Copies of this chain bind each other. A is one copy, B any other.
């Protein structure tokens, strides 16, 4: 397997953390997003979306989406389980992972990509250019605030986000929370359940890879 990574971006960090939790040490290649390497013809041949992470399996299949990578690794390295074990656990991990993607990661990236001067003409990732839409930046920030409230409600009295065990949903939420912090949208001070949960996940060895 070959893992196409980038240490400055949140999406590949999710896959990197998943690999670490599985105890897997995969050959990695760093893609420099600041130099636009993800849009080179060679990389677009591998992943037409021009995004990282990409995991190339031993038979040469390029998996260029976090959920596809997690699904593959869970099937080939089942322990420790990170996608749940019972039917309901599996469903709840998918539910919360989807909510994090749709209600938190997308709005956060909307807020970032539609406001940062370096992202002019890059409001969406990929080979096509899309202009910034200032209203989307404001909407993104408002939606991040809404999700922080939802997250706090869910985490009250819980050790982990989706089920009674650490899962992909925790990885996804943790990485997006950390990136939001870098973008000056940190966990609100009063959201103590979320802050405690963040502290617990941050102590895991996988949070430092």
Contacts and interface: CB of A to CB of B under 8 A. Distances in A.
Contacts of A133: 133, 135-136, 139
Q: Interface residues of A: mostly helix, strand, loop or mixed?
A: helix
A158 interface: no
Chain A, interface residues (CB within 8 Å), range: 35 or more
Interface stretch (A15-23, A25-33, A87-95): A87-95
Interface string A27-57: 0000000000000000000001100000001
Given A49-B99, A72-B88, 8 more contacts: A63-B95, A71-B87, A71-B90, A75-B86, A75-B91, A76-B87, A133-B135, A135-B135
Interface of A: 48-49, 57, 59, 61, 63-65, 67-69, 71-72, 75-76, 86-88, 90-92, 94-95, 98-99, 103, 106, 124, 128, 130-131, 133, 135-136, 139, 143, 146, 150
